[in-house]
Amino acid sequence: MKTKIIGLCVYTAVFLSVGCSFDDDQKATSEGDSMKSSSSRKDNLNISILLDLSDRIDPVKNSNPGMEFYKRDLGYITSISKGFENHLRSKPIRQDNDHIQIYFEPEPLSPEINNLAKELKLSFTKDNTTKDAILKISQQYISASNKIYKLAIKDSKFIGSDIWGFFKDKVNDYCIKPKHRNILFILTDGYIYHNNSKFTEGPRSSYLTPEFIRALNLNTSKYKEVIRKNDYGFVKANDSLSNLEVVVIGINPLKGNPFEGDVISEYWVKWLKEMKVKNPVMKPIPADLPSNVEMIIQNYIHRH
């Protein structure tokens, strides 16, 4: 009888052990499938492009024999739109909830430019996405943005770009959507200036110009030390941008100060970090040829 009892206990223990092991295996498999499904799901993208249509794009005032700066902008826009297009092509249509748009601040006086910008405000969901529509994104952006720059140059009424004001008043509403990877690309030479938002608060300013950089004596190799010691930088325009990534493209420092570009980058990085832009904050990209910048843009968009 004792032997039967011992045998029964051993059988029960083995059964329970096997049963628990089977349950654990099932749970592990289920969790693995869930993780695999989660990791294979692409982020929903919300890409915004802020264009600086100041006289920096004027091919007469700021001519560049290698490639005019407005043409460089067009190349960057092409890379961004192709990156967005490739993102959509890489995910099932049932997962689509992605957006791309272009902004100006202030809005151009030309109704034609504003109408073209409306054409570039695109949204793709599972209800309206088709393969044909996806394949037309970059061509649509190339065509319309080319017209925008030509109209702006022809009009020659460069009203500047209020980047500081855009961050203060509009970036939260325009560029950030919940449950999206929000990316703001800013095409600018790095200088910030507009009469609508020009002021100083102690050592901080809402603007940065070549003249201002010279006035602050930021033209030596000790520029970083001077900036930190005196707390130079932009006045903070926002403090709730933890769900926004910002990529600045087109830095074009004035010749004569070998540290001008470094000063511009220092101002921008410090400003974005203080506004709690999502880490890591990327160093502004110089106004290089679009063919050199294309892979940087493509890799950035597809890094997640």
Confidence of residue 33 (pLDDT cuts 50, 70, 90): very low
Which of 24-28, 99-103, 157-161 reaches the highest mean pLDDT? 99-103
pLDDT digits (tens, 9 = 90+) for 236-245: 999 989 999 9
Of residues 227, 304, 234, 273, the one with CA closest to residue 45: 304
Report the 10 Å Cβ neighbour count for 132: 7
- Could you tell me whether strands 233-234 and 244-251 are parallel, antiparallel, or unpaired per DSSP bridges? unpaired
Residue with tokens 């560049």: 64
pLDDT for residue 73 is more than 50: yes
pLDDT at 5: 39
Cβ neighbours of residue 136 closer than 8 Å, sequence gap 6 or more: none
In angstroms, the CA 226 to CA 235 distance is 17
- Write the CB contacts of 108 (distance below 8 Å, at least 6 apart in sequence): 53, 114, 152, 155, 159
End-to-end CA distance of the chain: 65
Alpha-helix runs per DSSP H in 90-202: 111-119, 131-135, 137-155, 163-169, 171-175
Of the candidates 185, 187, 176, the residue with the CA atom closest to the CA atom of residue 46: 176
Per-residue pLDDT at 267 exceeds 60: yes
Banded model confidence at residue 205, pLDDT cuts 50, 70, 90: very high
Amino acid at 228: R
Rg (C-alpha) for the chain, rounded Å, is 26
Please name the residues in contact with 242: beta carbons below 8 A apart, sequence gap of 6 or more: 276, 277, 278
Does 72 score more than 60 pLDDT?
A: yes
User: For 102-160, how does the pLDDT look when each residue is reduced to its tens digit (9 = 90+)?
Assistant: 999 998 889 999 999 999 999 999 999 999 999 999 999 999 999 999 999 998 778 78
Judging by beta carbons within 10 Å of its beta carbon (0-12, 13-18, 19+), is residue 32 exposed, middle or buried? exposed
Report the alpha-carbon distance of residue 266 to residue 282 in Å, rounded.
11
The kind and range of the H/E element at 205 are strand 204-205
Residue 158: its pLDDT value, please?
Answer: 80
Q: What is the identity of the amino acid at 107?
A: E
Whether residue 44 has pLDDT greater than 50: yes
The pLDDT score that the predictor gives to residue 18 is 38
Please indicate, yes or no, whether the overall pTM of this predicted structure exceeds 0.75: yes
Q: Please name the residues in contact with 226: beta carbons below 8 A apart, sequence gap of 6 or more.
A: 216, 217, 218, 220, 232
pLDDT of residue 159: 75
The predicted pLDDT at position 14 comes to 38
> Once rounded to an integer, what is the mean pLDDT over residues 185-207?
96
Mean per-residue pLDDT of the chain: 88
pLDDT digits (tens, 9 = 90+) for 269-302: 999 999 999 999 999 999 999 999 999 999 999 9
User: What pLDDT is stored for residue 304 in this prediction?
Assistant: 60
Output the pLDDT for position 22.
31
Residues 75-92 have a mean pLDDT of 96
**Which DSSP string corresponds to 98-125?**
EEEEEE-SSPPS-HHHHHHHHHT-EEEE
